[in-house]
Amino acid sequence: MKILKAKYILVCDEEFRILEDKAILFDERILKIGNFVRLIENYPDAEIFNCGDCVAMPCFINPHTHLEYSANQTKLIFGDYLKWVNSVIENRSELSEQATQKLITDKITEMMRSGVGTIGEISSFGVDLEPCVKSAARIVYFNEILGTNEKFLDANWANFMGRYKKSAEHASKRFIPAVSVHSPYSTHPKLAKKVTRMARAIKFPISVHFLESRYEKEWLNSASGGFKTWLEKFAPNPKPFYSESSFVQLFKGFKTLFTHCVFADDFSIFDEKNHSITHCAVSNRMLCDKTLDLKALLASGICFNIGTDGLSSNVSLNFFDELRANLLIHTEFELNELAKILLLASTNFAAKSLKISNGEISTGKLADIAVFDGFEVEDKNEVPLWLILRTKAAKFMFIGGELWR
Ligand SMILES: [Zn+2]
């Protein structure tokens, strides 16, 4: 058992409680929260971490990364989605070759140093499997499927199943194999339906890209625009497989993370109980001229979380860089209020989206706890904002109660 004392504990419950000068007793899970001296008296054998001037909170959850693209620095074209996706296709084998096991391991470490304890990795090729399995982080490993040409659907499925089975061999408390459908424009309904049947069987959330660009919206709604010419490269006479709502319907009744949704203007199409939106603010800014309507999303009651996306459309996997960018992009919110919303989305909400019992400092939850350097504040309600503005790295973390630094 361990006891951790902190100046401030951000509980990250729905009320966003901030505890002052309290301590947490935990093993793999959180056992008690209370007075430091009393906990020591009652549990004299516990290992003690007295971080009297620090801030403790649940580790961040980054539900959307593409570690296989970690070698990208300036190779891919930013500014326009279509130019970008073409540059991805042109450079993906080279970038994938350069994404060595060491590079991917370093990038996971970089994320963890910024307080991330759970990573949702979207795996396209499987080169990220070993570093993810060996990592100390909690990993949700989303094997991704795509393919539009009828002729190759069986081959696409076989390739996907091969990767899924390989990842399933490593399933453990820390490593969760899962599945992902790439997007409505890139995935044939026959593949998407097979995958959703599978997700129902393995009872684990699906991740999917949705409404990331103006081109995608135009394509789904009017079968026209830049995507039409582009998709002709992959299959003759392309037609949209879905409307916006028929695509969402595919995932009705089970946990699905819809990543981006920048061009969603009707959040009522989502299933409030099971669907969530993953917001990748920097990535969206790099690839288009619009950002997610966070106010409308919050008003709709649909859960949301914060992702960095991969280095294919970002310049940093440091989670604080992403949070700071969110503070700057979403000028429609009061700053201190937004800081709280962002921290909640990155912990409690993300845990609910992924169905993992962490993301909150409460009795019974997994002890995934990050500790950050403290600072002076007049009022404890300023802690969320200063934490995001001032912090670059965690001092140390516990994942499932185990110390990581
Ligand atoms: Zn993505």
Interval between CA 388 and ligand 1 midpoint (Å): 24
Interval between CA 209 and ligand 1 midpoint (Å): 6
The tokens describing 56, both together, are: 């403790």
Closest C-alpha to 107, from 138, 133, 71, 143: 71
Place of tokens 């959040």: 267
Query: Is residue 249 pLDDT above 90, yes or no?
Result: yes
Percent of the chain, pLDDT > 70? 100
Kindly give the interhelix angle for 81-98 and 214-222, rounded to the nearest 10 degrees: 120
Exposure string of 256-290, with b = 16+ CB inside 10 Å and e = fewer, is bbbbbbbbbeebebbbeebbbbbbbbbbbbbbbee
- Give dist(CA 78, CA 283) in Å, integer: 9
Per-residue pLDDT of 331-347, as tens digits, reads 999 999 999 999 999 99
- Give dist(CA 354, CA 132) in Å, integer: 17
As a whole number of Å, the end-to-end CA separation of the chain is 18
Per-residue pLDDT of 80-139, as tens digits, reads 999 999 999 999 999 988 999 999 999 999 999 999 999 999 999 999 999 999 999 999
Per-residue pLDDT of 313-371, as tens digits, reads 999 999 999 999 999 999 999 999 999 999 999 999 999 999 999 999 999 999 999 99
* The one catalytic residue among 144, 212, 244, 322: 212
Exposure string of 226-243, with b = 16+ CB inside 10 Å and e = fewer, is bbbebbeeeeeebebbbe
Q: Are the C-beta atoms of 312 and 81 separated by less than 8 Å? A: no
Interval between CA 307 and ligand 1 midpoint (Å): 9
DSSP string covering 182-248, please?
A: --TTTB-HHHHHHHHHHHHHHT--EEEEES-SHHHHHHHHHS-SHHHHHHTTTSSS---S--HHHHH
Residue type, 162: G
Interval between CA 121 and ligand 1 midpoint (Å): 9
Amino acid 116: pLDDT: 98
State the DSSP code for 179.
E
Q: Where are the beta strands (DSSP E) in 76-154?
A: 116-123, 138-145
Query: Is residue 248 pLDDT above 90, yes or no?
Result: yes
Interval between CA 63 and ligand 1 midpoint (Å): 10
Residue 29: alpha-carbon gap to chain centroid:
22
> 52: pLDDT confidence band, cut at 50, 70 and 90?
confident
State the DSSP code for 127.
T
Amino acid 121: pLDDT: 98
Neighbours of 77 (CB within 10 A): 18
Query: Vertex 284, ends 110 and 84: CA angle to 5°?
Result: 90
Is residue 382 part of the annotated active site? The answer reads no
pTM of the model: 0.97
- Give dist(CA 127, CA 123) in Å, integer: 8
